Amino acid sequence: MSALKVNRKDEHKRMLTPYEIAGFVIQALDSKKAREIKLLRTTDVTTLADYFVICTAGSTTQLKTLSDEVEKVLKAKGEAPLRREGHRAGGWVLLDFACVIVHLFLKEARDFYMLERLWSDAEDVDTGQFVISEVTAGKQDARGQ
């Protein structure tokens, strides 16, 4: 019988909670200047996911950048998307991380689909703790910290 080998690097890894995944998504989106970032806690209204993250991109190029950044950040944390849907030319992209679904829209598509209205029974969660304001970042940079 062979002994099971444990990779020491993975020994202390734990799975991220849905809230932590949503937080990393929001930080990734904020770092690439996504607009109107919304976090909806959907646990009590659907079995699709625990959270929806919704944001607006200013162009199809930014839509791709946002999608790529979210995937890159979460893959580094051990969370790859289960699937990707939509297309940049159509003005929307969906990234499915099982417990968190990320909806990326151009303004026209976001106005058309109105997910916030569709999921109005979901709890609107404050994203402020995940976002670093430019004013705060500027003050920190000015002091060299």
Number of domains in the chain: 1
User: CA dist 102 to 6, 38, 46, 99, 139, Å?
Assistant: 33, 10, 15, 10, 31
Residue 90 has a pLDDT of 81
Q: Any idea what the CATH number is for the domain that residue 20 is in?
A: 3.30.460.10
111: its two tokens: 């106005």
Domain that holds residue 31: 16-123+132-138
Residue 10 located in a structural domain: no
Residue 142 has a pLDDT of 41
Q: What is the model's pTM?
A: 0.82
Residue 133 has a pLDDT of 58
Residue 33 located in a structural domain: yes
* pLDDT tens-digit map of 8-61: 455 456 789 999 999 999 999 999 999 999 999 999 999 999 999 999 999 999
Residue 114 has a pLDDT of 95
* Separation CA 40–CA 52 (nearest Å): 5
